[in-house]
Chains A and B, each alone.
Chain A
Amino acid sequence: MDKSTKTLIHYEWKTFTRNKFQLLLLAITFVFALYAIYYGKSEINAQLDTIEAVKNLEEKEFAEYKASFQKELVTLEQEQTHDIASRPAYAWYRHGYHAILYPHALAPLAIGQRDLFRYYYRLTGMSLHYQLYENELANPVNLLAGNFDLSFVLIYLFPLLIITFCYGLFSSEKENGTLALLKIQVISIRKIMLIKLAFYLAIITGLALLVSLIGILSTANPIKSENLMASSLWLIGAIVYCVFWFAVMFVIISFRKSSSFNAITAAGCWLFFLIVIPGMLNVIVTVKYPVSSVTLAGLTRRTGLENEDDEKEAKEVITEFLHYKPELADSDSLIKNNLMPKAYAAFTSLKDIHNQEEVDYYNSQINKRNKWIANFYWLSPAVNMQEIFSQITETDLNTFLVFQDALVSFHRDISDFYFKRLFWDKPILLEDYSELPVFKMPKSDNRYLIVFTGLSKISLIALLAFIVGYIKINSISK
């Protein structure tokens, strides 16, 4: 570092520490960030409490079933419990299994869509579609307002901080009359501006890293192998995003206009990246790919056999169902025992099979939407960053779509477990309880790929902006 650089930094530091307003802004941002971390944690903790509660309920339910095998059955209730525990005709639609999407350790930092989607389901062997579409309770007003989490602070507030710190870097020298003094120095204006920008970049990015670290350390153990990648990506993301905004400021400054012009242009950029572009993309995608859930609503209708006394109808339904599940056929007692439970099980499964096309269509429309809109993320690094943060913390839409897919196979496992016994007229034994279906959430492998592509896009735009600024700032003085 040469002497003039040191002098510049030294004086910038003096200006910085003297400006009470700027210091106050930094302090306020810091406090907001702490609140955001606290808020995110409280939201996710509430979800964890709910998860804990539903898990306990499930454990209690199954503990009762298991206990009923060992106890002597005295009361009517005990007998009923044992029936539900051991007879597939009851068990298939009464045993409830929870599929839970656990929050990622860093989820409190970017709540993403976690407040909007369900993160737990209780599934029985009944029609899956009947069980899928109930929402979690939420205040729509607060859903609309969105979450004040750390990702919000970084994405919305940090750019504003950068704007207020940098919009006058060149123009204020001009307006205060010190520009002429700078111009007669050996060191070029370009270098002076770059040093100043680097100085504030260090301070603001430092703050971004500090609050991110506080967030990470207070929510997760970053050394743990499963968190290490996510934590480092988060920190890299915070740096890249700040650098991008500094590059934008560099371009604006390089036009050597007045402070007011710079402030207006910078605020305009902020508005475009954070409000106008995403707002436009959202309405365009809504109109271009109209998705309507109304067609799906009908799937949740509770229907059954027309007449539960009608054996013929029951047999027809079973036969149709066995066409899809031939492995359940061929039992001698197929029609003799438990005809109605079998018919009902067949009926609700058939309903799922028949309706699957409609559900697939709906899901494919949503996928199309997201594919289309993802093509335009590069237009706004803010949108891109939000997506990156929610990818890192597994609170993005895709995670929930994968979760819902996983529900389908989990539901299949549950149905298979009970139907195998129901249609073959085998009781559920105590030892069967050790092989109950278990929910597995598949790991998405391209998550980090999306994050890397996103980050490179932002970096690329930042680099381009930097080059433009680098050339432009000198072109005027010549």
Chain B
Amino acid sequence: MITKPINLIIKKEIKIALREKLILAMGVIITLLLGVALYAGYISFKQQHNIIHETQAQKRQEWLNQGDKHPHIAAHYGTFVFKPKTVLSLFDFGLDAYTGTSVYLEAHYQHEFMFRPAQEHSSIIRFGELSSALVLQILVPLLIIFLAFASYTNERESGTLKLLLSQGISFQMLTWGKVLAFCMMLFAILLPYVIGLTILSGMQSQQGTTPHVMLRVLLIILFYGFYLFLFIAFSVWVSLRATNGRNALLTLITCWMFFTILLPKTVSNFSESLYTLPSMREFKAGIEDEKTNGTDGKTPRSVRVAKLKEEYLKKYNVDSVQQLPINFEGVSMQYGEEYANQIYDKHMQALRSIFHKQNQISSITSLLNPYIAVQHLSMALSGTDMYTFNHFEDKVESYRRELIRKMNNDMAENSVYGEFYGYKAGSDLWEEIDDFSYQTPTVDKILVSYPYEITSLILWTIIVIALLNFTNKKMKPLYG
């Protein structure tokens, strides 16, 4: 049986890599780190998931068993919502340490999410947490660089390149043989991890917050596949072009450093300087001001309520609010609520648009930097990104509005004007409010929000393949 030359090339590359103790050690270390990251991610997910689950159930009981009271007092008593852990947060912690985890829902006020888990750590947290995503995004590329930087320069320095070429092997075949060999080695290193990830997330997929867990895992594997392939192909290309191994290594490490450490930080800091955020105090003051003086700045609450009163008297054709068939206090309460919601939405939208503009800069930069692309896509699929968090915030806010609306309507229908303590609602009303449950956006919805990132990965893959092919053809055997 004749062995194809490409198979020989692959075999030879793998043999050489296995001889290098340093590479072998790094492979073992990466496997270990991935194992630790996966295990710790899983434990931390379980811990957080359980405590959130328990506390949420406890708050639900508190709500249901709050006893008989006036609906408006119940609306102030309110309830709490906790940000559920998504299954794949065990893979990529994403923004979880920096987005708030719990929010208090009550009448009149939109509270912001409290408690960022990073606040429970010392400054060491800013170095990042070891997640599988971190290992795959930063550490594995470095391993690839170490594996591949000398792939051509060694052949050149030891003179084997000329031997190979004189045997009729083309650059094309040699290059792709090397790329394939590295892909296979990496696949072998990562396979146990991928199996582990699939099993662990498969076990938790019944948890319900994240739909299509398996599809997400598949896409994560696909995107990281693209990303790591980029590094392999690029490293081989640099080695092909470099005059010696030292230069190839220096170039590759500089690129790695620039793309994974420097650029992401610089871009996000730059976006922060470009679009500045208001302080919480300014933000709240803006909302309060409009609530007090009206959206036009000259219609205070008393005027607004008087107008509403007039409308209602006219509508029901009566002379005083006491004659209305419903309690006007409930009506005006709900009116105030909706008015305040409008104001809040406006301000929140303005705030979100600043966040969006800031984040958009790094999304656009992802076209230049596949690291940012894979980072964003990984968080998105894990449900730990900004888009999912905003989606969650919106769901929580609509739940709050529904809760308050039901309380106000009940008050309007059942209580009597001016007798605040005369009316008490009971558990029947509390049970009308469904328990809060949350599902992250589906895969297609979330991916649509990351067009730059997807384009980046595809574009870079095409560029790198084209680059390799172009250089392969251009290389002259004589000078090889």
List residues of A whose CB falls within 8 A of some B CB. Answer: 32, 35, 39, 42-43, 46, 50, 53-54, 57, 112-113, 116-117, 120, 122, 133-148, 152, 156-157, 160, 164, 168, 172, 175, 259-261, 263-265, 267-268, 271, 274-276, 278-287, 290-298, 300-304, 306-309, 365-366, 369-370, 373-374, 377, 382-383, 386-387, 390, 395-398
Contacts and interface: CB of A to CB of B under 8 A. Distances in A.
B284 to A, nearest CB: 9
A302 B76 contact: yes
B428 interface: no
B122 A374 contact: yes
A175 B157 CA distance: 11
B104 A287 contact: no
A137 B146 contact: no
A143 B319 CA distance: 58
B248 to A, nearest CB: 9
B119 interface: yes
B113 A287 contact: no
Contact of A53 (B77, B114, B127, B279): B279
A301 B48 contact: no
Interface in B257-283: 257, 261-262, 264-269, 271-273, 276-283
B198 to A, nearest CB: 21
A53 B123 contact: no
A293 B127 contact: no
B249 A50 contact: no
Closest 6 CB pairs of A and B: A279-B130, A278-B127, A293-B115, A145-B268, A297-B102, A140-B98
B246 A260 contact: yes
Interface stretch (B134-142, B187-195, B323-331): B134-142
Q: Chain A at the B interface: mostly helix, strand, loop or mixed?
A: helix
A152 B127 CA distance: 10
Interface string B85-125: 00000000011011111101010000111111111111111
Given A141-B359, A142-B271, A373-B122, A135 B36 contact: no
B149 A116 contact: no
A334 to B, nearest CB: 24
A337 B463 CA distance: 81
A7 B23 CA distance: 39
B392 interface: no
B44 interface: yes
Among A137, A144, A306, find the residue whose CB has the most chain B CB atoms closer than 10 A. Answer: A144
B269 A134 contact: no
Given A53-B281, A112-B123, A283-B40, 19 more contacts: A135-B116, A141-B355, A142-B268, A144-B95, A144-B97, A263-B253, A275-B139, A278-B124, A279-B128, A279-B130, A283-B130, A287-B47, A292-B51, A302-B78, A308-B421, A373-B121, A383-B124, A387-B124, A397-B123
Contact of A142 (B101, B118, B269, B351): B269
Contacts of A134: 111-112, 114, 280
13 contacts: A134-B114, A135-B116, A135-B280, A138-B277, A141-B386, A143-B98, A148-B266, A263-B249, A281-B124, A282-B121, A282-B127, A302-B78, A373-B121
B253 A152 contact: no
Given A160-B257, A293-B102, A386 B43 contact: no
A303 B77 contact: yes
A39 to B, nearest CB: 6
B358 A139 contact: yes
Nearest to A293: B115
B78 A301 contact: yes
Contact of B253 (A122, A267, A298, A370): A267
A265 B69 CA distance: 69
A145 B267 CA distance: 9
Interface residues of B, number: 94
Nearest to A297: B102
Contacts of A297: 55, 80, 82, 102, 104, 114-115
Contacts of A298: 59, 80
A282 B125 contact: yes
A380 to B, nearest CB: 8
B150 interface: yes
Given A50-B281, A287-B47, A264 B272 contact: no
Contacts of B116: 116, 135, 140, 143
A285 B121 contact: yes
A285 B118 CA distance: 12
B185 interface: no
Contacts of A370: 121-122
B121 A137 contact: no
Contact of B139 (A156, A271, A283, A387): A271
B52 interface: yes
A242 to B, nearest CB: 18
Contacts of A291: 117, 120
B272 A263 contact: no
Contact of A39 (B73, B127, B138, B273): B273
B289 to A, nearest CB: 13
Contacts of A307: 421
A164 B269 CA distance: 26
A397 B122 contact: yes
Contacts of B111: 134, 300
Among A140, A386, A398, find the residue whose CB has the most chain B CB atoms closer than 10 A. Answer: A140
B100 A135 contact: yes
B397 interface: no
Contacts of A172: 246
A366 B120 contact: yes
Nearest to A152: B265
Contact of B41 (A117, A283, A304, A398): A283
Contacts of B102: 293-294, 297
Contacts of A135: 100, 112-116, 280
A294 B55 contact: yes
B123 A260 contact: no
Contacts of B283: 137
Given A136-B279, A281-B124, A143 B114 contact: no
Interface in B4-47: 22, 26, 33, 36-37, 40-41, 43-44, 47
Nearest to A171: B246
Nearest to B358: A139
Contacts of A373: 121-122, 124
A283 B129 contact: yes
A237 to B, nearest CB: 14
A295 B55 contact: yes
Contact of A175 (B119, B246, B276, B279): B246
Given A145-B269, A267-B253, A397 B126 contact: no
A415 B53 CA distance: 37
Contacts of A148: 265-266, 269
A145 B130 contact: no
Contacts of B94: 144
Among A43, A145, A271, find the residue whose CB has the most chain B CB atoms closer than 10 A. Answer: A145
B245 interface: yes
Nearest to A389: B123
Interface in B48-92: 48, 51-52, 55, 59, 69, 73, 76-78, 80, 82
B348 to A, nearest CB: 11
A304 to B, nearest CB: 8
Given A267-B253, A302-B106, A366-B120, A260 B245 contact: yes
A389 B245 CA distance: 37
A136 B246 contact: no
B173 interface: no
A210 B336 CA distance: 59
B123 to A, nearest CB: 5
